[in-house]
Amino acid sequence: MTLYNIRRSALTFAIAVSAIALAPSSGLAFSSEAQQMCTGDAMRLCSNEIPDIPRVAACMHRKRAQISPGCRAVMDREVAAARKARRAAVGDE
């Protein structure tokens, strides 16, 4: 595997992790903390689903019990923040 392919794979995992962390939200924005804490879990648990981001997200949710505590905490915080923002947006309408 070339350095280019390794970097491309790492970027794909980072995008997948962001989608996982913010699955309930409509955007694909993610924190550097989520990328740092969850990339290893995504590679370890769901590498066969790459590069299909929705499948990676589903895989990570299925394997939640196997996700590292740090990744789980980041995912929980970001999902809660996305839900809160969505509720606030619905309240503004």
What does the pLDDT read at residue 15? 66
Under DSSP, is residue 67 helix (H, G, I), strand (E, B) or coil?
Answer: coil
- Whole-number Å distance between alpha carbons of 1 and 73: 32
pTM above 0.75? no
The domain limits of the chain are 3-92
Query: Quick one: pLDDT at residue 26?
Result: 40
Residue-by-residue pLDDT tens, the chain, 93 positions: 676 667 667 666 666 665 555 454 444 445 788 778 888 999 999 999 888 888 887 898 899 899 999 999 988 888 888 889 988 888 765
* Sign of the CA dihedral running 73, 8, 25, 62: negative
